[in-house]
Amino acid sequence: MISQSAYAVEPWTLRESELNLDVLPQSESVFALSNGHIGWRGNLDEGEPHGLPGSYLNGVHELHPLPYAEAGYGYPESGQTVINVTNGKVMRLLVNDEPFDVRYGKLRSHERVLDLRTGLLRRVCEWSSPAGCTVRVTSTRLVSFAQRAIAAVAYEVEPLDSDVRIVVQSELVANEQLPRKSGGDPRVAAALENVLIPEEHFADDMRLRLVHRTERSGLRVGSAADHVVHGPGTTATSSESGQNVARLTVTSELRRGERLRVEKLVSYGWSGVRSLPAVRDQVDAALAGARTKGWQGLVEQQREYLDGFWARADVEVDGDAEIQQAVRFALFHVLQAGARAEKRAIPAKGLTGSGYDGHTFWDGESFVLPVLTYTSPDSVAEALRWRQETLPAARDRARQLGLRGAAFPWRTIDGSECSAYWPAGTAAFHVNADIADAVVRYVAATGDEEFERETGVEILVETARLWHSLGHHDHHGTFHFDGVTGPDEYSAVADDNLYTNMMAQLNLRAAADVVERHTGQAAALGVDDEEAAAWRDAAEAVAIPFNADLGVHEQSAGFTGHQMWDFAATRPDQYPLLLNFPYFDLYRKQVIKQADLVLALYKRGDAFDLEQKARNFAYYERMTVRDSSLSACCQAVIAAEVGHLQLAYDYVGEAVLMDLADLESNTVDGLHIASLAGAWIALVAGFGGMRLRRGTLDFSPTLPEQLSRLAFVVQVRGRRLRVEITDSSVTYTLLEGSPLELCHCEEPFTLTSSAPQTRRLRPQPHRPEPEQPQGRRPVRRH
Ligand code: BGC
C-alpha cells in the first residue's frame, strides 16, 4: 500500500520526497509517462532497482497458446500479451569506480516530481558512494505529446565535494529480465521472456539503433537514440552495440562546480508489415524530426500541448486539496492513455504496466472515452476508428458464434477475442452497446458528421445486427437477451441483464436513426427499411426486469429471488471475493462485484424517474462489494443524483485515490485508467450533474458541504464551456464559440460569450443513507 503521506499534496504536481523501495513498483506506475503510443514506466534511470521494468508500444504484443483442460467450440486459441520492448530510459552511472545504485552507499536526498502542467518527470538526488564521494544527479524525462514516436531524457551529474571521474552509459536495452510472476491473481500479466528476436544493431558516434521482431505475432520493433553531450574538456564519448544492447559511453573528469549533461532523444517504431529497412528508416526519420527541435524544443512543445489540454479540461476543487491534486493527476493519466493512441486501443492500464496483459476492455468506451469526448474529442474519433478497423475480426467472431453483425471482443490487443473464460468474456455482449454508445455520445457532443458517416454508421449497423440476432421475441412480443453477462462479474450467463438490455435498446434505436440520416451508407451495408424497422420493434419491446413486490428493477430476470451472500461471515481478507470463492457460488447469490444496474441508472437515466433511481440505488448498494475499481465512480454519480452527497463524496475519494493510495494493492501492475476517468465522471456527472440529453448538455449541480467550489471546463460542439458551482449557485460561462443551447435542471437557456448566466442549485431531497455490505462501506471523507 502507498501511505497517505507518500506524495505531497500540491495542486499541479506529484512530489515524492524520499525513495521508499517498498513502494517502488507502485510509484513506477504512478510516475509512468505516456502519450498513448509509447509508455515508459517510472523506472529509475539506472534501471535498477526496479519493481517492473516497463517500456511499451501501443499494440506491440506477443501471442501465446491458451491451454484449456477441457476445450470447447469457439474458445479463442491464442492469447495476446503486451511485451516489454526496448528500454530507452536507461542511463547507468559510474562514480569513480562504483556504480550509482541507491541500494549502496548513502542516498542523502531523493525527490521525484511529476509536473502535470509541463508533462515532465524530474528527479533530483544526492548520493554518496560507499567510498564517500558525493554527487548530485538530476534527470528530466518526457514522452512527447507533440511527436508521438519520441521520448527523451536529460541527465546531469555534478560532484558535490571532490573531483570525480564519471562514466555515463546511455543505453537501449532489449529483452530485460522480468521479475517472476507471483500468486494466482488472474489480473497479473503472463510474463513472456526473451520475446524480441534480434535483427539488427547499430552504433555510430552519438547514434544507436536496435531492431527486433517477435516470433508469433510477427511484429518488427525498432528503436533509435541520439545524444547531445555537454561537459568539460575532459569529456569523451564512444559507442558500441550488440544484439540486445546499444550503448553510448560518456566519460568525464568533473571538478567541483562542473557538470556533465547528456541529452538523449529516443524514437520508436513498429510494424506488422514493414521490412527491416523500412522500420530502420522510420525510427531514424522520427529521430531526425525530434533533432530539429532538440531537447528544449521538445520541452516547449510538451508545455504547449498541455496548456491547450488544461484550458479545455481543468477541474478545480476548493475545500479538498487532496481531491484537487488527484483529479488533475487522473486527467493527466487519462490524457496520456488516449492522446496519441491513434487507431489503437486504449488498454485498461493505459501503457503504465502489464496488468491484464495489456488488454483493452469495455473500460475504454464506457469510462475513458466519455471523459475524452468533452476534453480531447479528436482522440475519441481515433479510438473508435480503431474499433472500426477491427470490424473484420468482430464479424468473424459473430459468425463463429452463430450470430449476425459484429461481436467485438471482450478483451484484446489486436481486435480478436482472447478471453479464455467465456462466461465473463464472450457472454459480456454489452461491450458492443458500449462501443455504440461511445459513437452516439461523440457525434452528439461534437456534431462530427463526417465521422458519423464514415465510421459511426458501420459500427452502429453491425452492432444492431448482432443484438437483433442475439435476442428473440417471446409469444407476448417482448424481446429478450438470454444467457448474457452484464458488467457485474459476480453474475454470469443470466437472462435479460437490465444494463445489457437497456444499452442494446439504445444501440438498436441509434442504428435505426442513423440509417435514416445516411441512406447511401446504409444501402452500401445492405440495410433496408424492413431491417431498420425490425431493430425499432426489438428496441421498443426489450424486456426490463422489475420486481413489483420490492418495487425495484432486477439486475437480471430473477436476480432479486437469489439467496443473499453471507456478508457477515465474509472476512475482510477474503476480498476480492474472486480470489477466495468459486464463481459457482458467487453466480447464484445476490452479491455484486461492480455497479451494473446502478450504471444503467446513469447511462440510461432517461428511462427511470428519480424515485426509482433512489430505490434501486438503495437496494443494490447493500450487496455491491466494489471488487472492481470501475464501481465507485458509478455509485458516486447516482448517490449524488438521488441526494446522498456525503456518500457520493466518499466514492469520489475512492475513485480518485485508487492508484495514489493503491487501494486495491495492485497499482504495481499499472494504473486503473477507467477509475481515474471515473474520478472526472464522479465530479462532473456526479456533483456537476452533467448529462447529454438529445444533443444538449443538461446540468443539475449540487455540492457536498465539504467542498466550497467545483469548477470545470468542457468542450461541446466546438465551444468551450466553464461551469462553476458554489454552495448555492452555479455560473455558466461560454469561454469560446458561438451561442450554445444548454439546460439547467431540464430548463433550457441560451448561453452567449458576452453574458455568463447564474442559476440557483436544486434543493436536495432527504433520504436515509443506504447501507453497504458489512465491512465494505467506503472510507468516510471529512
Ligand atoms: C472488471 C471489468 C473490467 C476489467 C478491466 C475487471 O475487474 O470487472 O469490468 O473491464 O477489470 O479493468
Q: Alpha-carbon distance 436 to 429, whole Å?
A: 12
The pLDDT of 227-243, averaged and rounded, is: 98
Query: Is the per-residue pLDDT at 183 higher than 90?
Result: no
| Distances in whole angstroms, Cα of residue 679 to Cα of each of 11, 229, 359, 634, 686 | 16, 42, 21, 10, 10
Residues 508-523 as b or e (16 or more Cβ within 10 Å = b): bbbbbebbeebeebbe
Query: Is the per-residue pLDDT at 736 higher than 70?
Result: yes
In a domain, 614, yes or no: yes
Query: Is the per-residue pLDDT at 504 higher than 80?
Result: yes
Asked whether 29 and 23 are in contact (CB, 8 A), the reply is no
Q: Alpha-carbon distance 494 to 471, whole Å?
A: 13
What SS3 state is found at 21?
Answer: helix
The pLDDT of 576-605, averaged and rounded, is: 98
Kindly report the protein residue whose alpha carbon is nearest to atom 11 of ligand 1.
Answer: 628
Q: Is 367 a pocket residue for ligand 1 (Cβ < 6 Å)?
A: no
In a domain, 349, yes or no: yes
Query: Is the per-residue pLDDT at 699 higher than 90?
Result: yes
Q: Is 348 a pocket residue for ligand 1 (Cβ < 6 Å)?
A: yes
With cut-offs at 50, 70 and 90, classify the pLDDT of residue 48: very high
Say if residue 648 is exposed, middle or buried (CB neighbours under 10 Å; 0-12, 13-18, 19+).
buried
Peptide bond into 576 cis (omega under 30): yes
The pLDDT of 416-435, averaged and rounded, is: 95
Q: Alpha-carbon distance 420 to 425, whole Å?
A: 7
Q: Alpha-carbon distance 778 to 404, whole Å?
A: 43
Query: Is the per-residue pLDDT at 238 higher than 80?
Result: yes
Q: Alpha-carbon distance 290 to 309, whole Å?
A: 22
Q: What is the pLDDT of residue 295?
A: 98
Edge-to-edge strand order for the sheet containing 13-16?
Answer: 8-9, 13-16, 106-115, 120-128, 134-143, 150-159, 260-271, 220-230, 207-214, 196-204
Q: Alpha-carbon distance 668 to 658, whole Å?
A: 12
Q: Is there a binding annotation on residue 774?
A: no
The pLDDT of 397-418, averaged and rounded, is: 97
Q: Alpha-carbon distance 709 to 702, whole Å?
A: 10
**In a shared domain, residues 228 and 362:** no
Distance 628 CA to ligand 1 centre (A): 6
Number of structural domains (the chain) is 2
How confident is the model over 377-402, as pLDDT tens digits? Answer: 999 999 999 999 999 999 999 999 99
Q: Is 428 a pocket residue for ligand 1 (Cβ < 6 Å)?
A: no
Q: Choose, from 489, 531, 641, 654, the residue flagged as catalytic.
A: 489
Q: Alpha-carbon distance 110 to 137, whole Å?
A: 9
Q: Is 410 a pocket residue for ligand 1 (Cβ < 6 Å)?
A: no
Question: Both ends of the chain: CA-CA distance in Å?
Answer: 21
Distance 633 CA to ligand 1 centre (A): 14
Q: What percent of the residues of the chain are helix, what percent strand, and what percent coil, each to the nearest 5?
A: 35, 25, 40
Distance 342 CA to ligand 1 centre (A): 23
Helical (H) or strand (E) element with 106: strand 106-115
* Residue 16 φ then ψ, to 5°: -115, 120
With cut-offs at 50, 70 and 90, classify the pLDDT of residue 3: confident
Q: Alpha-carbon distance 371 to 393, whole Å?
A: 27
How confident is the model over 703-717, as pLDDT tens digits? Answer: 999 999 999 999 999
Distance 593 CA to ligand 1 centre (A): 10
Asked whether 219 and 271 are in contact (CB, 8 A), the reply is yes
Asked whether 676 and 333 are in contact (CB, 8 A), the reply is yes
CA 411 to ligand 1: nearest atom: 10
Return the amino acid letter for 315: V
Q: What is the pLDDT of residue 423?
A: 95
Residues 228-252 as b or e (16 or more Cβ within 10 Å = b): ebebeeebebebebeebbbbbbbbb
Q: Is 386 a pocket residue for ligand 1 (Cβ < 6 Å)?
A: no
Q: Which of 630, 667, 669 to mutate to test the pocket of ligand 1 (most atoms within 8 A of CB)?
A: 630
Q: What angle do CA 646, 693, 372 make, to 5 degrees?
A: 70
Residues linked to residue 62 through DSSP beta bridges, in sequence order: 81
% of the chain beyond a pLDDT of 90? 94
Distance 324 CA to ligand 1 centre (A): 26
> Concatenated DSSP letters for 554-582?
-SSTTGGGSEEP-STT--GGG-SGGGTS-
Q: Is 496 a pocket residue for ligand 1 (Cβ < 6 Å)?
A: no
Kindly report the protein residue whose alpha carbon is nearest to atom 6 of ligand 1.
Answer: 628
Asked whether 639 and 647 are in contact (CB, 8 A), the reply is yes
CA atoms within 13 A on the CB side of 281: 5
CATH assignment at residue 209: 2.70.98.40
Nine cell digits for residue 501 = 438490455
**In a shared domain, residues 282 and 316:** no
CA 348 to ligand 1: nearest atom: 12
Q: What angle do CA 11, 14, 17 make, to 5 degrees?
A: 125
| Distances in whole angstroms, Cα of residue 235 to Cα of each of 169, 231, 259, 260 | 13, 6, 10, 8
With cut-offs at 50, 70 and 90, classify the pLDDT of residue 71: confident
* Residue 119 φ then ψ, to 5°: 70, 20
Nine cell digits for residue 703 = 455540492
CA atoms within 13 A on the CB side of 68: 15
Instruction: Tell me which of 287, 302, 321 is where a domain ends.
Output: 287
Q: Alpha-carbon distance 375 to 377, whole Å?
A: 6
Which phi-psi region, left, alpha or beta, contains residue 444 (left: φ > 0; alpha: ψ -120 to 50)?
alpha
In a domain, 646, yes or no: yes
The closest of 287, 277, 357, 300 to 118, measured between CA atoms, is 300
How confident is the model over 91-133, as pLDDT tens digits? Answer: 999 999 999 999 999 999 999 999 999 999 999 999 999 999 9
| CB neighbour list of residue 249: distance below 8 Å, 6 or more residues apart | 167, 168, 169, 237, 238, 239, 240
Strands 696-699 and 740-744: parallel
**In a shared domain, residues 266 and 317:** no
Q: What is the pLDDT of residue 191?
A: 64
CA 363 to ligand 1: nearest atom: 10
Q: Is 489 a pocket residue for ligand 1 (Cβ < 6 Å)?
A: yes
Residue with cell 465474509: 570
**In a shared domain, residues 595 and 643:** yes
Kindly report the protein residue whose alpha carbon is nearest to atom 5 of ligand 1.
Answer: 348
Q: Alpha-carbon distance 768 to 661, whole Å?
A: 30
Q: Is there a binding annotation on residue 410?
A: no
Q: What is the pLDDT of residue 4?
A: 63
The pLDDT of 565-570, averaged and rounded, is: 98
CA atoms within 13 A on the CB side of 256: 5
In a domain, 778, yes or no: no
| Distances in whole angstroms, Cα of residue 475 to Cα of each of 408, 478, 502 | 30, 7, 20
**In a shared domain, residues 593 and 454:** yes
In a domain, 23, yes or no: yes
Query: Is the per-residue pLDDT at 1 higher than 80?
Result: no
Kindly report the protein residue whose alpha carbon is nearest to atom 1 of ligand 1.
Answer: 628
Torsion angle of the four alpha carbons 643, 645, 648, 652, in this order, in degrees rounded to the nearest 10 = 140
Helical (H) or strand (E) element with 298: helix 276-313
**In a shared domain, residues 249 and 283:** yes
**In a shared domain, residues 338 and 253:** no
The closest of 591, 670, 598, 668 to 633, measured between CA atoms, is 598
With cut-offs at 50, 70 and 90, classify the pLDDT of residue 190: low
| CB neighbour list of residue 470: distance below 8 Å, 6 or more residues apart | 403, 429, 481, 484
Instruction: Tell me which of 661, 690, 716 is where a domain ends.
Output: 716
> Would you tell me how many other CB atoms lie within 10 Å of the CB of residue 628?
23
Q: Alpha-carbon distance 247 to 394, whole Å?
A: 43
With cut-offs at 50, 70 and 90, classify the pLDDT of residue 510: very high
**In a shared domain, residues 272 and 332:** no
Query: Is the per-residue pLDDT at 182 higher than 70?
Result: no
Q: Alpha-carbon distance 477 to 62, whole Å?
A: 47
Q: Which domain holds residue 145?
A: 4-63+79-287
Least confident range from 103-112, 190-199, 291-300, 543-552: namely 190-199
In a domain, 658, yes or no: yes
Across all residues in the chain, what is the average pLDDT? Answer: 96
Q: Is 487 a pocket residue for ligand 1 (Cβ < 6 Å)?
A: yes
**In a shared domain, residues 280 and 340:** no
Number of H helices and number of E strands within the chain? 19, 35
Distance 630 CA to ligand 1 centre (A): 7
> Among positive and negative, which fits the CA dihedral 308, 309, 310, 312?
positive
Kindly report the protein residue whose alpha carbon is nearest to atom 12 of ligand 1.
Answer: 348
Instruction: Tell me which of 686, 716, 746 is where a domain ends.
Output: 716
**In a shared domain, residues 410 and 343:** yes
Distance 489 CA to ligand 1 centre (A): 8
Range list of H helices, 39-120: none
In a domain, 174, yes or no: yes
> Would you tell me how many other CB atoms lie within 10 Å of the CB of residue 474?
10
> Would you tell me how many other CB atoms lie within 10 Å of the CB of residue 375?
25
% of the chain beyond a pLDDT of 70? 98
> Concatenated DSSP letters for 211-256?
EEEESSS--EEEEEEEEEEE--TT-EEEEEE-SSEEEEEEEEEE-T
Q: Is 156 a pocket residue for ligand 1 (Cβ < 6 Å)?
A: no
In a domain, 72, yes or no: no
Q: Which of 187, 363, 575 to mutate to test the pocket of ligand 1 (most atoms within 8 A of CB)?
A: 363
Q: Is there a binding annotation on residue 422?
A: no
Q: Is 360 a pocket residue for ligand 1 (Cβ < 6 Å)?
A: no
Q: Alpha-carbon distance 611 to 151, whole Å?
A: 52
Q: Is 346 a pocket residue for ligand 1 (Cβ < 6 Å)?
A: no
Q: Is there a binding annotation on residue 378?
A: no
Distance 439 CA to ligand 1 centre (A): 21
Q: What is the pLDDT of residue 762?
A: 87
CA 674 to ligand 1: nearest atom: 12
CATH assignment at residue 336: 1.50.10.10
How confident is the model over 321-374, as pLDDT tens digits? Answer: 999 999 999 999 999 999 898 899 999 999 999 999 999 999 999 999 999 999
**Residue 540 known to be catalytic:** no
Query: Is the per-residue pLDDT at 657 higher than 90?
Result: yes
Q: Alpha-carbon distance 114 to 28, whole Å?
A: 12
**In a shared domain, residues 207 and 320:** no
> Would you tell me how many other CB atoms lie within 10 Å of the CB of residue 318?
14
The closest of 682, 681, 718, 686 to 700, measured between CA atoms, is 686
Q: Which of 359, 361, 583 to mutate to test the pocket of ligand 1 (most atoms within 8 A of CB)?
A: 361
Q: Alpha-carbon distance 264 to 276, whole Å?
A: 24
Nine cell digits for residue 724 = 462553476
**In a shared domain, residues 135 and 224:** yes
Least confident range from 61-75, 676-690, 727-741: namely 61-75
